[in-house]
């Protein structure tokens, strides 16, 4: 992004440092009182989120910071997005499309939501189709959305079989080669990856982002 003013640097710093109160007060002042360009403010947010992601990767930040960062971003977005003039700011080109859902029989969603958020702020277009997703729904959604990557999430041990069944159904439908499959969740490891036939597994949201980047040929 272009060079930042002192005020812009301050916003990025407060966001990246989890200083929520000061960051939101400043972004509100910039947007509502000083007439700052809302697209520029959202760009600053993305810069801050890059720092958050890096700190997560380096072991300085953990889940609480990802959750709080997501909420700060959402709150700024609520103020900024209505101020964007029509025609401005068409979505920049995305790195790839990821369809994600929790497999049938399993209702857990916290990990999946964090992965969706991290993929989104890292430039991927993400469609989250929710929890307890039947095999048939995965197939329908994939046919409509044409994703590059499908993410299957599951926390319970029963999810191992649901994932295997879901991936098996992709094969039967003849669609298995059209996208990569990553799996994740509390108990997922290489044994489960091999059992289910997924292409890869990840133990956290950054690993999910890196898998998608590699598959899309994007430099990390």
Partner 1 sequence: MSTMIGPYEQTDAAKAAYDARWERIMACVRLEQPDRMPVGLQSFFWPATYGGITYKELMYDYEKAKKVCFDVVAEFEPDGVYPLLMGTGQGLALEKLEFKQLQWPGHGVGDMQPYQYLDREYMTPDEYDDFLFDPTGFYIHKYLPRVAGAFEGFDKLPIFPGLHYFRLVNGIRSFALPEVRASLEKIVAAAEEVNTFFGHHIEWTQRINAAGFPLFNGTNSVSPYDFIADYFRGATGMMKDLYRHKDKLKLVLDKAAVFLTKMTITNAKLSGNPIVFIPIHWAPDAFMSPKQFEEFWWPPFRKMLMGLIEADLIPMPMWEADCTKRLEVIKDIPAGKCIYWFERTDMVKAFEVLGDRVALRGNLSPSLLTTGKPEEVDAAVKHLVDDVWNKGGKLILDGAFGIPDETPVANVRAMFGAARKYAG
Nearest to 76 by CA among 118, 14, 127, 5: 14
Whichever of 36 and 200 has its CB closer to partner 1, that residue is: 200
Smallest gap from Cβ 65 to partner 1, in A, equals: 8
Cβ neighbors of 36 (< 8 A, separation 6 or more) are: 30
Is there a contact between 118 and 148 (Cβ–Cβ < 8 Å)? no
Report helix, strand or coil for 193: helix
Exposed/middle/buried for residue 114 (C-beta within 10 Å: 0-12, 13-18, 19+): middle
**Which token pair is 169?**
């159904």
Q: List residues near partner 1 by CB under 8 A.
A: 18, 20, 60-64, 67-68, 71, 105-108, 110, 156-158, 160-161, 186-189, 191-192, 195, 203-204
d(CA 187, CA 165): 17
Whichever of 125 and 132 has its CB closer to partner 1, that residue is: 132
Is there a contact between 97 and 147 (Cβ–Cβ < 8 Å)? yes
Is there a contact between 163 and 189 (Cβ–Cβ < 8 Å)? no
Whichever of 130 and 186 has its CB closer to partner 1, that residue is: 186
Whichever of 4 and 156 has its CB closer to partner 1, that residue is: 156
Smallest gap from Cβ 163 to partner 1, in A, equals: 11
Smallest gap from Cβ 76 to partner 1, in A, equals: 16
Smallest gap from Cβ 62 to partner 1, in A, equals: 5
Whichever of 143 and 157 has its CB closer to partner 1, that residue is: 157
Smallest gap from Cβ 41 to partner 1, in A, equals: 22
């Amino acid at each position: 992004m272009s060079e930042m003013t002192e005020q812009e640097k301050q916003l990025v710093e407060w966001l990246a440092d989890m200083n929520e109160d000061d960051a939101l007060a400043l972004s509100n002042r910039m947007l509502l009182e000083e007439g700052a360009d809302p697209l520029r403010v959202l760009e600053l947010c993305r810069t801050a989120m890059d720092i958050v992601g890096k700190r997560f990767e380096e072991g300085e930040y953990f889940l609480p910071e990802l959750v709080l960062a997501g909420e700060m971003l959402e709150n700024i977005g609520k103020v900024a997005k209505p101020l964007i003039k029509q025609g401005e700011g068409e979505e920049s080109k995305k790195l790839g499309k990821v369809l994600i859902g929790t497999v049938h029989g399993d209702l857990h969603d916290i990990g999946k939501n964090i992965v969706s958020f991290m993929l989104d702020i890292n430039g991927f277009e993400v469609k989250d189709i929710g929890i307890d997703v039947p095999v048939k729904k995965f197939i329908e959604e994939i046919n409509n959305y044409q994703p590059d990557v499908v993410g299957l999430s599951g926390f319970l041990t029963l999810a191992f079989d649901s994932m295997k069944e879901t991936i098996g159904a992709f094969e039967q439908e003849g669609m298995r080669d059209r996208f990569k499959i990553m799996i994740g969740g509390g108990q997922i490891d290489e044994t489960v990856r091999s059992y289910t036939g997924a292409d890869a597994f990840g133990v956290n949201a950054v690993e999910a982002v890196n898998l998608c980047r590699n598959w899309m040929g994007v430099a990390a």
